[in-house]
Structure 1
Amino acid sequence: MSNFYGKVPVQAVRSFLFYRKKGVTQKLIHQLKYKNQPEIGLFMADWFGEKLKKSNVFVDVDYIIPVPLHSKKFTKRGYNQVTMFGERLSDILNIEYKSDILIRTSKTKTQTLKQRFERFSNNKTKFKLVDTTFFENKHVLLIDDVITTGATIEACADELLKTQNITISVATMAYTQKD
């Protein structure tokens, strides 16, 4: 087990693509999030899911849980950009998808245009476990679209760690390459 960015214990972290400014991955994620194309999540999950299945890295995971959107952002966008991705990974890896236990309680502005320090120092994002016993003695796979600084994953993991004997792993569509 290692520490995610030296902050929270995670068993494994996997990202499918590198995310670069003005790169193809950035364009795909932008279409997924802001241009009503959630099927891009299916495409990525099909490809990534098969790679994960062959690697056996998440073979002992009990649940897949998405980084949640705030209800206002969900209403505006109409969907969580990682839902179809997570549901397809659930099918491929034969792991239950659970989207109603971890919720976002604070709304943050998009971090797309923020500088790296601003993103990392934005610790106002809050998450809440609806039930702190549900994931007891379980291994969860926390999924998101892009890891930039790791602050969002860290905030989710901090809340998940309120559960006794939980194991956390992370899978994302992309990882921001540091310049």
Structure 2
Amino acid sequence: MFLSDYTPYVLIVEDEEDNRELLSVILSEEGYQVQTAQDGLAAISMVEQIKPDLILMDVNMPRMGGFEACRELKKRHPDIDISIVFLTGQNSMESIVHGFELGARDYLTKPFNIEDATQCVKMAQEMIFRTKIMGSIFASASAPANALSATSAASTVWIIPS
């Protein structure tokens, strides 16, 4: 498997239609599979259906904001490694730190630069790819070890002195 062969599924969660459409068009043109949602509640139900690799999520949205949606996603799906990049107009260090504490992979400040957004997604793609490769390496490395230990246990010969 090569990085060029792997295209993550990106969910864009943004209440501002212009930003949502702009990111969708840009990332689709870059070859990403893209879905969009208008708020955190819609994102949560979509995650259960499409299982995205990466979520670009606005922090401040109606009904459910990005931080709350992130907490809920981590609670509902602790076994799924979903990378989240927060989009925000808030440039406060407190907000950024809070996002990272919730498990964000990165932050994009609005208004965002198109090159910064695509570079951020590409970097996240590389990290997702590496995580998947490492997971498959560990899975394949542990399979023979389990088979060996089962074989060893089955063929143990006990010598009992008389």
Q: Give the alignment's TM-score, normalised by structure 2.
A: 0.30
More strand by share: 1
Q: Give the alignment's TM-score, normalised by structure 1.
A: 0.28
Structure number, greater radius of gyration = 2
